Amino acid sequence: MCGIVGYIGNKQAAPILLDGLGKLEYRGYDSAGMAVFDGQEIRIAKAKGRLKVLYNMTRGGGTMPGTAGIGHTRWATHGEPSDTNAHPHSNEDASIVVVHNGIIENYMKLKKKLEARGYQFHSETDTEVIAQMLDYYYRGNPLEAIMKVMHRMEGSYALGIMFRDHPGEIYAVRKDSPLVVGQSPEGNFIASDVPAILKYTREVYFIENEELVCLKADSLNFYNIDEEELQKEPVTIEWDIHAAEKGGYAYFMMKEMQEQPKAVADTLNPRLKNGGIEIEELGMDEEELRAVEKIFIVACGSAYHTGVTAKYVFEGLARIPVEVDLASEFRYRNPILNKNTLVLIVSQSGETADSLAALRQARALGSRTMGIVNVVGSSIAREADSVLYTWAGPEIAVATTKAYSTQLIALYLLALKFASARGTLRKEELQTMLEDLRQLPEQISLLLSHKEKVQKFANRYLAAEHIFFIGRGIDYAISLEGSLKLKEISYIHSEAYAAGELKHGTISLIEEGRLVVAVLTQPELYKKTISNIVEVKSRGAFVMAVTTAGNTEVEKVADYVIYIPETNPYFTNSLAVIPLQLFGYYVAIGKGLDVDKPRNLAKSVTVE
Ligand code: G6P
C-alpha cells in the first residue's frame, strides 16, 4: 500500500506531485516524499507525517525546481514511519532514485548479497534494496538494469524511477500493484490511481503486470519484460473531477454517505430492464447460471460483510448453497472448487492483495470467477472471468459506505438473477422485489435526512469503552458492519454477536450502562431478538434498537428506537446500515477524530 505519482513535461514538477499525492493520501499517509530533477541534480525531500509537512518543508514545491519528478505517500510495511524510511530511496550518490508501492518479499536475501559486495543501507525498507540493486546492475542502460532487477525481485511493486544519467526520462513498472500512465500536451504522468492525475488529463493507459514504460515530456514507450516494445491503447476516464473532491462536506465520509442514494440508483437502474434484470457484463447465460452448484463469496473487511448478508439472500431466494470466506483465510484453506463452483470476489478497490490472491487461486483450481468491483480496470476486474461493476464512483474515506451499499445491490441483483434462472422465484414475487429495490434510494435519502437524531444519541456515548451489536440472520450481518464502522473510526472497542450466541460467554461483559445496539428487521426473528434484548436489559444494558417501521413492540423493551422504512426482509441491510454508519461517524466526530483517515488503517490494502 502507498501511493506513487510522477510527472515529466514542460511545467514545474513539484507542485504537480504534491497535488497528486494529496489525492493519494487515502493509500497511506504516515510519511511523504518526492525527488525532482532539474537536468543537473536530483533533489530529494521527504518527511514523516502528513503531506502538509512535506508541503511546508518545500514551500509548496518552490524549493525544488525541475520539470521531472516522482513522489510518494507511504503506509509503513518494512520499517516504522520515519524521515529515513520515507520514499524516495536512492543509491549511495543519489544518481538513481525510486518510489515504490508494494512489498519485496525476498528483500532480506537480496540485501545480504548486496552487503557482501560492499553496499551500505540507511533505511529499514525493502525499497532501498531496489535502488541499490539498480545501482549494481546499471551499466548505462536503464531498461536493461530494471529488467535484471525485476527478474530477481519476488513480491509486488509499482515503481517510479529516475536516473541522473538520463535527464528527461522517468521509468515506471508494475507487478501486482496498480499503476496508470496519463498523457497530456503539457507532459506525461504516472500514478497509483486515476484521481491523482485527473486534474491534468483524462487519457490514461493501464499498465499490466510486468510491463515497463519510459516517459519523456512528449512521448511514452511501453515494453514487456523481454524488452520488446508494446503498442497500448489509451482509455478515456469519464469520472467527474468533482466526484474526487469533498464537495462541501467536512469529511469525505459524510459526502460519501450522502452519495449513497445516487450510488445505489446508479448501480441498480441500468440493470432493471424490460421488467427483469439484465446484467450486460455478467458473461453467463441462464444455462450456465443453472449449472452452478455452489457459490463462494470471498472478500475482506466490509466487503466480507456484504457476503455474509448475500449468503442469506442467495440461499433463501435461489436455493443455492453459499459459503462466505475471508479472503486471507480462503487462500490457505485448500477450498473444494471445480468448474461448477462460482467464486465471487467482492472488492471496492479491486486491488486488495488477499482478495486478488483468492481470485487467482480459484482460477487455478478450475472454478468460474466473478468480481464485484468498483474500480474499473483494477486487477480483480481484469483477472476475473467476468465482472459486475458497482457504480459508486471513487471512494476516498477509509471507512467504506457507498461502496458497501452498492456491493449489496450488486449481490441482490445477482441473487435474483440466479433465482429467476433456476425457477425458485415466481414472476410476481420477482416483480414485487424489483419494486422494493427501486424504492431503496429514496428510503436511504429519508434515513439520511434524519441524521441529527442519530447525532444526538451518539453524543451521549463519546466516552464509551465497549459497545455491543446484536442481531439474528441478516440482522447479524448488519451488526457486523455497524460494529466495524464504529470501531474503525471512533476507536471504541466493539463486537457484533449473533444475538442467540451472546449468552454463551459474552454476556458476562454486559454491566450497568453498557450500550447494546440491537438490530431487528427480520419478521420471523423479532420475538427471538426481543428475548435477547430482555436478557441484556436485565443485566443493566442500555439498548438502542434499529427496527422496521410498525414494529412498535420493541419500544417496550429498548431504551431508544430508530425505525427504518419497510422493505423486503432480504433487503433491510441497505436501510439499517445507514443509522449505524451515522452512529459511528458522529461518535468519531464528537471525539474530534479524523474520520477519513483513521489511525493504522489504509483504504486500499495491497499487502498480505
Ligand atoms: C480495507 C478498508 C475496508 C475495506 C477492505 C476491503 O481494510 O479499510 O473498508 O472493506 O479494505 O477492501 P476492498 O477494496 O477489497 O473492498
Backbone dihedral angles phi then psi of residue 340, each to the nearest 5 degrees: -100, 10
pLDDT band at 5 (very low <50, low <70, confident <90, very high): very high
Q: Ligand 1: which atom is nearest the Cα of residue 398?
A: 8
Rg for the chain, CA atoms, rounded: 25
Residue of the nearest CA to atom 15 in ligand 1? 347
C-beta separation of 471 from 502 below 8 A:
no
Q: Is residue 406 in contact with ligand 1, taking CB distance under 6 Å?
A: no
How remote is the CA of residue 573 from the centroid of ligand 1, in Å? 18
- Is ligand 1 within 6 A of the CB of residue 356? no
Q: Do the Cβ atoms of 161 and 170 come closer than 8 Å? A: yes
Check if 328 has its Cβ closer than 6 Å to any atom of ligand 1. no
Q: Any residues with CB less than 8 A from the CB of 555 and at least 6 apart, and which?
A: 561
Q: Are 482 and 519 in contact (CB under 8 A)?
A: yes
Q: Is the pLDDT of residue 588 over 90?
A: yes
pLDDT per position as a tens digit, 238-277? 776 655 556 568 899 999 999 999 899 989 998 998 889 9
Grid coordinates standing for 77?
Answer: 510495511
Pocket test for ligand 1, best of 26, 256, 400 (most atoms within 8 A of CB): 400
Closest residue by CA, ligand 1 atom 7: 301
Pocket of ligand 1 contains residue 401 by CB under 6 Å: no
Q: Please tell me the distance from the alpha carbon of residue 309 to that of residue 320, in angstroms, as a whole number.
A: 14
- Amino acid occupying residue 589: I
Confidence tier at 472 by pLDDT (50, 70, 90): very high
What was the pLDDT predicted at 245? 58
Ramachandran bin of 263, using left for φ above 0, alpha for ψ from -120 to 50, beta for the remaining angles: alpha
In the chain, the percentage of residues whose pLDDT exceeds 70 is 98
- 349 Cα to the center of ligand 1, angstroms: 7
Please report the pLDDT score of residue 417 as a whole number.
96
Q: Is 2 helix (H, G, I), strand (E, B) or coil?
A: strand
Q: Is the CB of 300 under 6 A from ligand 1?
A: yes
Expressed in angstroms and rounded, the spacing between residue 239 Cα and the centre of ligand 1 is 21
The CA distance from 343 to 303, in Å, is: 14
- Dihedral through CA 329, CA 333, CA 339, CA 345, nearest 10? 0
Instruction: Using the CB atoms, write b or e for 347-373: b if 16+ within 10 Å.
Output: bbbbbbbbbbbbbbbbbeeebbbbbbb
Q: Measured in angstroms, how far is the CA atom of residue 522 from the centroid of ligand 1?
A: 27
State the alpha helices, DSSP H only, in 4-157. Answer: 13-24, 51-57, 107-116, 127-137, 142-152
Q: Rounded distance, CA 327 to CA 345, Å?
A: 8
CA distance 251 to 271: 31
In this predicted structure, what is the pLDDT of residue 246? 63
Mean pLDDT of 320-339: 96
What residue owns the CA closest to ligand 1's atom 8?
603
pLDDT at 197 over 80: yes
259: CB partners within 8 A, 6+ apart: 392, 393, 402
| CA 259 remoteness from chain centre | 17
For the annotated catalytic residues, the residue numbers are 2, 603
User: pLDDT, tens digit, for every residue of 98-147?
Assistant: 999 988 888 999 999 999 999 999 999 999 999 999 999 999 999 999 99
Shortest-distance Cα residue to atom 1 of ligand 1: 603
Determine the pLDDT at residue 511: 85
How many angstroms separate the first and last alpha carbons of the chain?
A: 10
